[in-house]
Homo-oligomer: A and B are copies of this chain.
Amino acid sequence: MLGVQNPFFWIVPAASILALVFAWIFFKQLMKHSEGTVRMAEIARHVRKGAMAYLKQQYKIVIIVFVVLTIIFALMAYVLKVQNPWVPFAFLTGGFFSGLAGFFGMKTATYASARTANACRSSLNKGLQVAFRSGAVMGLVVVGLALLDISVWYIILNAFVKDGDPAHKMMIITTTMLTFGMGASTQALFARVGGGIYTKAADVGADLVGKVEAGIPEDDPRNPATIADNVGDNVGDVAGMGADLYESYAGSILATAALGAAAFMHNFDMQVKAVFAPMIIAALGTLLSIIGIYAVRTKESATQKNLLGALGRGVNLSSLLILVLSYVVLRLLQLDNYTGLWISIVVGLLTGWLIGKETEYFTSAAYKPTQDIAGNAETGPATVIINGIGTGMMSTAFPVLTIVVGTILAYLAASGWNFANMSMGLYGIGIAAVGMLSTLGITLATDAYGPIADNAGGNAEMSGLGKEVRERTDALDSLGNTTAATGKGFAIGSAALTALALLASYIEELKIGLIRLGEMSMSIGSRVVQTSAATLTDFMEYYDVTLMNPKVLVGMFTGAMMAFLFCGLTMKAVGRAAASMVDEVRRQFREIKGILTGEAQPDYERCVAISTKGAQHEMMLPSLLAIIAPVAVGIIFGVPGVMGLLTGGLSAGFVLAVFMANAGGSWDNAKKYIETGAHGGKGSEAHKAAVVGDTVGDPFKDTSGPSLNILIKLMTMVAIVMAGMTAAWSLM
Q: Contact residues of A with B, CB < 8 Å?
A: 204, 208, 212, 376, 379-383, 385-387, 389-397, 400-401, 403-404, 407-408, 411, 419, 422, 425-426, 429, 496, 500, 503-504, 507, 525-527, 536-537, 540-541, 544-554, 556-561, 563-565, 567-572, 574-575, 578-579, 582, 643-644, 647-648, 650-652, 654-656, 659, 691-692, 695-696, 699
Cα–Cα, bound, A556→B396 (Å): 14
- Contact check: which of B397, B426, B560, B644 meets A655 at CB < 8 Å? B560
With A408-B554, A561-B397, A651-B556 given, is the CB distance from A381 to B643 under 8 Å?
no
> A547, B557: Cβ atoms under 8 Å?
no
Residue on B with the closest CB to A207?
B382
Cβ of A380: which chain B residues have Cβ within 8 Å of it? 208, 212, 692
Cα–Cα, bound, A552→B547 (Å): 9
Q: Say how far A514's CB is from chain B's closest CB, in angstroms.
A: 17
Residue on B with the closest CB to A646?
B547
> B692, A572: Cβ atoms under 8 Å?
no
Q: Which 10 A-B pairs have the closest CB atoms?
A: A393-B568, A390-B571, A394-B568, A390-B572, A382-B695, A400-B561, A540-B546, A652-B652, A560-B651, A556-B651
- Contact check: which of B547, B691, B695 meets A647 at CB < 8 Å? B547
Cα–Cα, bound, A582→B385 (Å): 16
> B565, A393: Cβ atoms under 8 Å?
yes
> A557, B403: Cβ atoms under 8 Å?
yes
Cβ of A547: which chain B residues have Cβ within 8 Å of it? 540, 545-547, 552, 643-644, 647
- Contact check: which of B386, B527, B552, B651 meets A574 at CB < 8 Å? B386
> B569, A659: Cβ atoms under 8 Å?
no
- List 10 contacting pairs A-B, 8 Å CB cutoff, sorted by A: A204-B382, A393-B567, A396-B561, A407-B554, A422-B549, A537-B544, A547-B644, A553-B651, A556-B647, A648-B651
> A575, B659: Cβ atoms under 8 Å?
no
Cα–Cα, bound, A651→B652 (Å): 8
Cβ of A654: which chain B residues have Cβ within 8 Å of it? 557, 560
Cβ of A695: which chain B residues have Cβ within 8 Å of it? 382, 386
- Contact check: which of B386, B390, B426, B582 meets A548 at CB < 8 Å? B426
Copies held by the complex: 2
Cα–Cα, bound, A544→B380 (Å): 52
> B383, A208: Cβ atoms under 8 Å?
yes
With A385-B696, A526-B526, A579-B383 given, is the CB distance from A560 to B557 under 8 Å?
no
- Contact check: which of B208, B557, B651 meets A400 at CB < 8 Å? B557
Cα–Cα, bound, A408→B549 (Å): 10
- Contact check: which of B403, B571, B691 meets A389 at CB < 8 Å? B571
> B571, A386: Cβ atoms under 8 Å?
yes
> A394, B572: Cβ atoms under 8 Å?
yes
Cβ of A500: which chain B residues have Cβ within 8 Å of it? 553
Given A401-B558, A547-B643, A557-B651, 11 additional A-B pairs, CB 8 A: A208-B383, A212-B380, A386-B574, A390-B567, A393-B571, A394-B565, A395-B568, A397-B561, A401-B561, A426-B550, A692-B692
Tell me which of A389, A545, A559, A656 has the highest count of chain B C-beta atoms within 10 A of its own C-beta. A389
Cα–Cα, bound, A526→B526 (Å): 8
- Contact check: which of B407, B559, B582 meets A550 at CB < 8 Å? B407
Cβ of A579: which chain B residues have Cβ within 8 Å of it? 376, 379, 383
Cβ of A692: which chain B residues have Cβ within 8 Å of it? 380-382, 385, 692
> B394, A557: Cβ atoms under 8 Å?
no
Cα–Cα, bound, A391→B573 (Å): 11
> A397, B525: Cβ atoms under 8 Å?
no
Residue on B with the closest CB to A655?
B560
Tell me which of A382, A396, A574 has the highest count of chain B C-beta atoms within 10 A of its own C-beta. A382
Residue on B with the closest CB to A525?
B525
Cβ of A564: which chain B residues have Cβ within 8 Å of it? 393-394, 396-397, 655-656, 659
> B390, A569: Cβ atoms under 8 Å?
yes
> B655, A386: Cβ atoms under 8 Å?
no
Q: Say how far A433's CB is from chain B's closest CB, in angstroms.
A: 14
Cα–Cα, bound, A568→B582 (Å): 32
- Contact check: which of B400, B527, B572 meets A558 at CB < 8 Å? B400
Q: Say how far A403's CB is from chain B's closest CB, in angstroms.
A: 6
Cα–Cα, bound, A205→B194 (Å): 40
Tell me which of A387, A504, A525, A651 has the highest count of chain B C-beta atoms within 10 A of its own C-beta. A651
- Contact check: which of B396, B572, B691 meets A565 at CB < 8 Å? B396
Q: Say how far A581's CB is from chain B's closest CB, in angstroms.
A: 10
Q: Say how far A153's CB is from chain B's closest CB, in angstroms.
A: 27
Q: Say how far A203's CB is from chain B's closest CB, in angstroms.
A: 11
> A381, B381: Cβ atoms under 8 Å?
yes
> A548, B574: Cβ atoms under 8 Å?
no
> A546, B548: Cβ atoms under 8 Å?
no
Cα–Cα, bound, A383→B382 (Å): 13
Cβ of A655: which chain B residues have Cβ within 8 Å of it? 557, 560-561, 563-564, 652
Cβ of A390: which chain B residues have Cβ within 8 Å of it? 567-572, 574-575
Cβ of A647: which chain B residues have Cβ within 8 Å of it? 547, 553, 556
Cβ of A376: which chain B residues have Cβ within 8 Å of it? 575, 579
Q: Say how far A175's CB is from chain B's closest CB, in angstroms.
A: 17
